[in-house]
Chains A and B, each alone.
Chain A
Amino acid sequence: MTQNNNSNDTVSILTKKDFVSDQMVKWCPGCGDHSILASLENVLPKLGKKKEDIVVVSGIGCSSRFPYYVNTYGFHGIHGRALPIACGIKMANPNLSVWVTTGDGDSLAIGGNHFIHTIRRNFDVNLILFNNKIYGLTKGQYSPTTPLGQITKTSPYGTIDEPFNPGELVIGAKGTFFARVTDKNPKYMSDIMYRAAQHKGTSILEVLQNCVIFNNGAHNEITDKDKRDDNQLILEHGKPMLFGKNKEKGIRINGTKLQAVTLGENGITIDDILVHDEKEEDPSIHFMLARMHLPELPVAIGVIRDVDSHTYEDMLYDQIEERKVSSPYKCVDDLLNSGDTWEIK
């Protein structure tokens, strides 16, 4: 690698304040975006990167105003295209910590092609997917994650569009990191953002975000105080998959399916419960975890998958270094004069 990595000792101690920009935050009061911003501002000082070495990139949508609010380098792109812009930045300078903020419409509809191909190539960028299951900025049309049958501005009789589950898509596209959090717990979100940043490769963090204006309560079943213990499975690497107020319930594999069970019932013991292994190369269980949904199963929260793999830019830089040594052309003059040439005297 040509670029030297900034080690921690060259970075003065930064705090959240360092990352708050002078721009007025213009999201609706009560919008889940505020807690995502707060969480990221908490994480950025911990990355061991200089402020100058962090870039936030976005496309179009409510989520995409994000770069203006963070006091780093920022780029507000066009609809759906944050990822290729981010990848271009990363290829030009792999030393940068690159963050992409995007919504379900931006990244999965108009930007769907870039979403799967970036993940497949495993560029080392971190993507925060604000999933509010609706188009907010254009005022309430259904998105690729809106549940079937929901009435929205553009589906007056209920949507007839089968939705995506982002996690399925990530894992199907050979994703190396996928995590899911809710917007109700900024502290936990910060922890998971940190994990995303530590992962080398494309990290996708889905935030179940509430749009108070156009899809209020879309995630209530998952996030409500009195329901969340039963409806969220908080994953921890190496730990059994337990949930419920007193961790009395768990997930086991039954035949080819995941099943929610209660400890002590029907002879179920802790040994029957699956132990989470986010490092497992084989994505089958991760896929099943990502697609768990209510009411049969709780929704998986936390890091579902985090496996090591080569990144695109590392391989690119390896080739560059190799060719610098092995190529006969040391400068463009060499190239211009290579091959069949002749002299006129």
Chain B
Amino acid sequence: MSTKKEKVKDLDEVVVRFAGDSGDGMQLTGSLFSDIAALAGNDFITFPDYPSEIRAPHDTVSGVSGYQVHIGHKKVYTSGDLADVLVAMNPASLKANLKWVKKRGTIIIDTDTFVDKALEKAGYDENPLLNDTLDEYNVIKSPITTLTKQGLKNLGVAPKIAQKSRNMFALGIMYFLFNRDFKATDAFFEKKFKDKPDVIEANKKVIRLGFNYAESIGVMGTTYNIQAAKLIKGRYRNITGNLATSWGLLAAAERSGRKIFLGSYPITPASDILIELEKHRQFDARVFQAEDEIAGVCSAIGASFAGALAVTSTSGPGLSLKSEAIGLAVMTELPIVIIDVQRGGPSTGLPTKTEQSDLLQALFGRNGECPTIVIAASSSADSFYFAYKAAKLAMEHMTPVILLTDGYIANGSEVFKIPKMSELPEINTPIAIPNDENFAPYKRDEKKLSRQWAYPGMEGLRHRIGGLEKEDINGNVSMDPDNHQLMTEYRQEKVARVANYIPDQEIYGDDTGDLLVVGWGGTYGALYEAVKQMREKGKKVSLAHFNYINPLPKNTEEVFSGFKKIIVCELNLGQFVHYLGMRQPKFQYYTFQKIKGLPFMVSELIEKFNKTLEEK
């Protein structure tokens, strides 16, 4: 697009971070930039990082909203450690994000906002534009606010709209820097602001102002190009983890022929699942925003008793509230899917930050011997398949399934290859046959140990179940000691046997070596990237990343046996390693634990793995 002869350099990948006040529209700016990458055929992963307050105090560090995107000509696995380019719309966003920028990286700054009051609110004693703070960076100082307002003057645009479209000026600079065109973004403005022609005009104008400004000042010398990624043939879209989870559930409902029911209570960062499924009444989705977390899970249990694919979605504190009811579903051996989008804990903790600290709660946080299947998704896109799988396992094995995702993959997005429904595995629900004389509520399938699903409305199968211990086969209330032992063992064994129906644990890399990196859930991308980079340097490192946690894949021991050292990495104080110590006690585990509300950085992982390799 550039008219002047700029030097255009091809990049394999780039990490861009947009940061501003929470009212500055940084999430929108970032997602428009990602959308353009998508249309250019790049691979990418995004990571929104926003405060838990809706409108935190203006110009303060706690009010900074950020959006990072990692764009690649090759496949990318994380949202990137450090940014190559930072857009900082005010002093607070520079203050909060400078540590996330690579040395010699580019920083685009709105100098108009670097005034005394804002500097003071951001906690700067001195103006960082005037001292050596930014010496090691390539800083593009632009009076973005002034230029935006000037540019819009002739259009007669209200000052408020002008103020709000500053972010598009910054985006325009980025479009110049990365040789992007306006077509798709224009179309977006036209759709989004359909009834506000002045806003459409303003945005279109400002993004071009930014572009032309960048071109005219010529400070960059070089602009960049990221060629289309070589992805497998097919149709693609951008998807967040929460959206993928929601759609995976809808897919499972359609494939199984069950009606979907969701009973949930709003909670960050899981609310988007409730919001999404509420939209899909056309698929017979019965979605219920309950009065509390307990009503959410209990309504799901009722719906499951009545024959629906029943789901409840929540985050850590909500999972705590649901514990007793999950026990009821274990006792009544009804299928429900419980989705826990993990966030920083304990208590209210860090609602908008990511963590993996609900694992032990998911495994053991209930009264009595109360096993459920526990699985974890490892990326935004594969949340689709694990939500589908959670529903499949729940219904085929007649048991609750807890699906763990986390704030990072739930809110982050990535490129998703759109599957065809007909390619998804079949779901075979053990539905009883009406008037079957041999029906008994707690008669079990020989192989799976699952009972049959008979629900109200089915003739000749009336029965009564509940939370009291059940007598084997007939399901009557029983306080018999031997029966209790038997039934407890059945419930345990039923879940254990799920190991026969899940895939073997895969290894990325060789089956033997010096170090096996072990992770689970949403840390996959960073662990994969770290192991990949180390393998490229010839290190004998492999990765075993777990999605199936209870039960563990059958070959877990075999996988672990091939390595001299095993290091278990997780965003908590060692919950998975604690569990592995119980299930696979003969191994010695090294650990890497981080609990900062942030995902792993590839660089810190590599550093730790190298140290572990050297340790005697």
Contact = CB atoms under 8 A, between A and B. Distances in A.
B465 A89 contact: no
B310 interface: yes
Interface in B279-322: 280-286, 288, 290-292, 294-296, 298-308, 310
Contacts of B459: 50, 52
Interface stretch (B15-23, B33-41, B94-102): B33-41
The 10 closest A-B pairs by CB, nearest first: A76-B466, A88-B302, A74-B464, A327-B282, A88-B299, A92-B306, A84-B298, A85-B302, A84-B295, A323-B281
Given A77-B328, A113-B291, A67 B235 contact: no
Contacts of B295: 81, 83-84, 87, 113-114, 117
Given A53-B457, A117-B291, A331-B421, A96 B464 contact: no
Contact of B299 (A91, A326, A343): A91
Interface in A45-62: 50-58, 60
A71 interface: yes
A164 to B, nearest CB: 18
A324 B282 contact: yes
A81 B237 contact: no
Contact of A88 (B261, B461, B463): B261
Contacts of B288: 87-88, 91
26 contacts: A23-B476, A50-B459, A52-B461, A67-B466, A75-B464, A78-B298, A78-B327, A84-B263, A84-B296, A88-B261, A88-B300, A88-B301, A88-B302, A92-B310, A96-B306, A113-B295, A114-B298, A117-B295, A320-B282, A320-B285, A332-B254, A336-B251, A337-B418, A340-B35, A343-B236, A344-B236
A76 B465 contact: yes
Interface string A199-218: 00000000000000000000
A5 interface: no
A25 to B, nearest CB: 12
B424 to A, nearest CB: 9
Given A320-B284, A331-B421, 10 more contacts: A52-B456, A76-B467, A77-B328, A84-B296, A87-B299, A89-B456, A91-B302, A93-B456, A117-B295, A341-B237
A63 B35 CA distance: 58
A113 B292 contact: yes
B336 to A, nearest CB: 10
Interface in B196-239: 228, 231-238
Contacts, number: 209
Contacts of A83: 295
Interface in A320-334: 320, 322-324, 326-327, 329-333
A50 B228 CA distance: 63
A91 B303 contact: yes
B279 to A, nearest CB: 9
Interface of B: 35, 38-39, 41, 228, 231-238, 247, 250-251, 254, 259, 261, 263, 280-286, 288, 290-292, 294-296, 298-308, 310, 324-325, 327-328, 332, 418-421, 455-468, 476-477
Nearest to B259: A92
Given A52-B456, A71-B462, A89-B302, A344 B281 contact: no
A345 interface: yes
A336 B464 contact: no
Contacts of B284: 320, 324
Contacts of A335: 247, 250, 280
B281 A92 contact: no
B82 to A, nearest CB: 29
Nearest to B278: A319
Contact of A81 (B38, B298, B461): B298
B307 A93 contact: yes
Nearest to A50: B459
Contacts of B234: 343-344
A52 B462 contact: yes
A63 B250 CA distance: 38
A72 interface: yes
Given A67-B464, A81-B295, A335-B250, A88 B237 contact: no
A137 to B, nearest CB: 12
A89 B462 contact: no
Contact of B233 (A58, A68, A75, A345): A345
A84 B456 contact: no
B235 A96 contact: no
Nearest to A21: B464
B274 to A, nearest CB: 15
A114 B300 CA distance: 14
Contacts of A341: 235-237, 418
A180 B234 CA distance: 65
A54 B455 CA distance: 11
Interface string A119-159: 00000000000000000000000000000000000000000
A340 B456 contact: no
A61 B34 CA distance: 56
Given A336-B419, A341-B236, A342-B41, A89 B306 contact: yes
Contacts of B304: 88, 92
A75 B310 CA distance: 16
B298 A75 contact: no
B385 to A, nearest CB: 13
Nearest to B454: A73
A92 B465 contact: no
Nearest to A88: B302
A75 B333 CA distance: 12
B600 to A, nearest CB: 29
Given A52-B459, A332-B421, A335-B247, A78 B307 contact: no
B35 A85 contact: no
Contacts of A165: none
The listed residue with most A CB atoms (<10 A of its CB), out of B292, B294, B303, B466, is B466
A339 interface: yes
Contacts of B247: 332, 335-336
Contacts of A58: 466
A139 B371 CA distance: 32
Contacts of B327: 78
Contacts of A93: 306-307, 455-457
Contacts of A337: 235, 237, 418
A202 B16 CA distance: 55
Given A84-B263, A84-B290, A68 B281 contact: no
Contact of A340 (B38, B324, B328, B419): B38
A268 interface: no
Nearest to A26: B477
A95 interface: yes
Contact of B294 (A81, A86, A89, A329): A81
A160 interface: no
A337 B419 CA distance: 9
Given A53-B456, A113-B291, A113-B295, A344 B232 contact: yes
A86 B301 CA distance: 9
Contacts of B307: 92-93
B462 A51 contact: yes
B263 to A, nearest CB: 6
Contacts of B298: 77-78, 81, 84-85, 88, 114
Contacts of A91: 261, 286, 288, 299, 302-303
Contacts of B238: 340
Nearest to B417: A344
A294 interface: no
A238 B267 CA distance: 49
A92 B307 CA distance: 7
The listed residue with most B CB atoms (<10 A of its CB), out of A57, A76, A324, A343, is A76
A91 B284 CA distance: 11
B303 A88 contact: yes
A300 B367 CA distance: 43
A17 to B, nearest CB: 14
A84 B465 contact: no
A327 B280 CA distance: 9
Nearest to A86: B302
A316 interface: yes
